[in-house]
A and B are shown apart, each in its own frame.
Chain A
């Protein structure tokens, strides 16, 4: 899930990077019929055409699910913001020279990464719900944030460690404190490096947010299911849901790819 692996990036070894974000189009694939174009426009055309050509039930479905799309975005955006905050703290903790902080951050990452997101979601909503009685939406966002915070933490850590040691030394030699050096010199460079992997996490989180339907948060998937269960149009409802997810994730994957290209082109 985290595209930046834990290894030092400057090691001379062949590494393949596979993210489970949406298929990121690679730059070489520029033909009109690129896989991205076929999937994106294919899905988009179907989302538009199906309700037109076959209004019953597709038009009904497309009218039924938009508040689910909004809920999906709400969960995704709020979770990503929290997970970025948690990730920054975790990443700093992971490189901290204070043993106790370092240990806490590392244990957090290990524990969270070892438990499936679905189990975490159940745990926070049903298990902890016995003591906390959390609102389902709050529980869902908390679970997503805590889970993705661990992955973000690894991205921040890898990003910070990818900055050459000389940068910190130059900053210290000028009289900066370590904290100033991190804030003024290291982190601004880190953010440029980690924007693409963060974009990938955003896409992954958007897809994983469908899990929150399991605790009855009315996201896109849940709305589709609600429609299907009253009308029995299971095939049509889930087809529409899948197509809408596809359009959204492919759209964002393109954005991430463009961002990545810009960043590598300017080099800053």
Chain B
């Protein structure tokens, strides 16, 4: 356990009678980029959301380093500070400028002074290629720009893990690349990333591991080339045939 950053062991999640995730086990080493693929309803987003406890796992354990996510009395807020999350629908705060979206949690949670938080927001915006959008409100930005601000917002808490929940699914095709480029740069910088996405190009370029889920179960996993080109399981093959 010590050498893995994210440890998911035997995690299940039930919604009423539906078992969305069945006995999933997965580890992500520090600096590793892991992509989860699978048909819709396969439980991949649910599993991801269990990692920062937006969904509470019904069974099993999840650790970030040595911090227990699934323990009911663990300090989940402390853990969430270290686990950034990027959503399919961006979820930027519409009443705040790009800069304030990024600076809000450092200021209010970590108590960082406004000037400093703004300085950091500027740096992060430059890093995602939006240095000139500091004082723009989300509704003045394109989808791709909003998603990049959302990534910057998550990075502002200096997380050691980043979760991406279908970060490009709500984007027009021409905007997907700008978001993937930012993610690629993050991966190169050594960020530990768990990504739910079907972006094969990104997977081949950046992922260390691809995990295929179907019907709540992890069917197989391996290096991208192996899973994409020579899948072992019939279900994986069928899925890949559909999306390629």
Which residues of A are at the interface with B, using a C-beta cutoff of 8 A? 164, 166-167, 169-177, 180, 184-185, 188-189, 192, 267-268
Ordered nearest first, which 8 A-B pairs have the shortest CB separation?
A175-B81, A170-B91, A166-B91, A173-B85, A174-B105, A175-B80, A188-B95, A175-B77
Contact B95 A174 (CB under 8 A): no
Nearest-neighbor residue (CB-CB) of A185 within chain B: B93
CA distance A171 to B153 in the complex (A): 11
Contacts of A268 in B (CB 8 A): 94-95, 137, 139
Tell me whether A180 and B139 are in contact in the complex, defined as CB-CB below 8 angstroms, given that A170-B87, A188-B95 are known contacts: no
Interface residues of B in 26-43 (CB under 8 A from A): none
Contacts of A175 in B (CB 8 A): 77-78, 80-81, 105, 109, 157
Tell me whether A176 and B105 are in contact in the complex, defined as CB-CB below 8 angstroms, given that A166-B87, A170-B87 are known contacts: yes
Size class of the contact patch on chain B: 20 to 34
Q: Which of A169, A188, A192 has the most CB of B within 10 A?
A: A169
Nearest-neighbor residue (CB-CB) of A170 within chain B: B91
Contact B80 A173 (CB under 8 A): yes
Contacts of B109 in A (CB 8 A): 174-176, 180
Nearest-neighbor residue (CB-CB) of A177 within chain B: B77
Complex interface bits, B17-32 against A, C-beta within 8 A gives 1, otherwise 0? 0000000000000000
Contacts of A176 in B (CB 8 A): 77, 105, 108-109
CA distance A164 to B170 in the complex (A): 16
- State the Cβ distance, B152 to closest chain A Cβ, in Å: 12
Contact B95 A189 (CB under 8 A): yes
Complex interface bits, B134-155 against A, C-beta within 8 A gives 1, otherwise 0? 0001010000000000100110
Complex interface bits, B76-106 against A, C-beta within 8 A gives 1, otherwise 0? 0110110111010101111100000000110
B1 interface hit (Cβ, 8 Å): no
* CB < 8 Å neighbour of B104 from A164, A184, A189: A184
B113 interface hit (Cβ, 8 Å): no
B54 interface hit (Cβ, 8 Å): yes
CA distance A174 to B96 in the complex (A): 15
Contacts of B139 in A (CB 8 A): 267-268
CA distance A180 to B108 in the complex (A): 8
B52 interface hit (Cβ, 8 Å): yes
CA distance A175 to B87 in the complex (A): 15
CA distance A97 to B80 in the complex (A): 21
CA distance A171 to B139 in the complex (A): 18
Q: List 11 A-B contacts (CB under 8 A).
A: A167-B93, A173-B83, A173-B84, A173-B154, A174-B80, A174-B104, A174-B105, A176-B109, A189-B93, A189-B95, A267-B139
Contacts of A170 in B (CB 8 A): 85, 87, 91-93, 150
- State the Cβ distance, B220 to closest chain A Cβ, in Å: 29
CA distance A171 to B77 in the complex (A): 11
Contacts of B84 in A (CB 8 A): 173
CA distance A174 to B92 in the complex (A): 12
Contact B54 A174 (CB under 8 A): no
- State the Cβ distance, A176 to closest chain B Cβ, in Å: 6
